[in-house]
Amino acid sequence: MRTEKVDLRIIKTRKAIKEALLTLIPIKGYDRITVQDIADEAMINRNTFYLHYMDKPDLMEKLSQECLEILNDSLASEITDLQEINKSVFTAIFKKMFLSIKSDIRLYRTMLGDNGQLSFSSRLKEVLRKHILNGAALPIHDKKKVLGLEYIISGLVGVICLWISDPEPLSIDEISEQLSDIHFNNFVDL
């Protein structure tokens, strides 16, 4: 069995491009950044950028997709029945979520910040919605339950934004426990 070795130059270049974008977004805002700006900040030429990405939206899509796939994988659960969920399971799920976010916190801060990408918040909500729906098996036609679900998900995204921007955030254990206290009964009532 042969495994392909990824060229370290590719990894370093993609990391430099990512870091350049994350540096520029808070300064200029996503819409005003050009590929040349990214290339200059990453200390590469434009042609090198185009070897890795088609354009700025392709870069943004790939970074967002990679980040949210990691979050999605971290939330994967064996829970198939709402009756299996108890408060400690709920706390463990929150802990996994915040550990995943912390692993790429700069990207989350940038994307969810004032100059970030609005679509990132929507995509984050979709990841959370997918996992809650899998655990709860909610009927989509029940408007009250859909409204409750949206309220919980929007609240979670708001708490994520608060946590990543707080200069002295709660520990992952503390935030997970507090969210479990707040949301567990609301979730079970869905």
Q: What is the pTM of this model?
A: 0.83
Quote the pLDDT of residue 148.
Answer: 81
pLDDT tens string, the chain, 190 residues long: the values are 455 667 899 999 999 999 999 999 999 999 999 999 999 999 999 999 999 999 999 999 999 999 999 998 888 765 555 556 678 887 888 999 999 999 999 999 999 988 877 789 999 999 988 877 665 555 556 777 778 888 889 999 999 999 999 999 999 999 999 998 887 766 655 5
Which tokens hold the place of 10? 């590719």
What's the confidence (pLDDT) of residue 132? Answer: 73
**What pLDDT does 116 receive?**
79
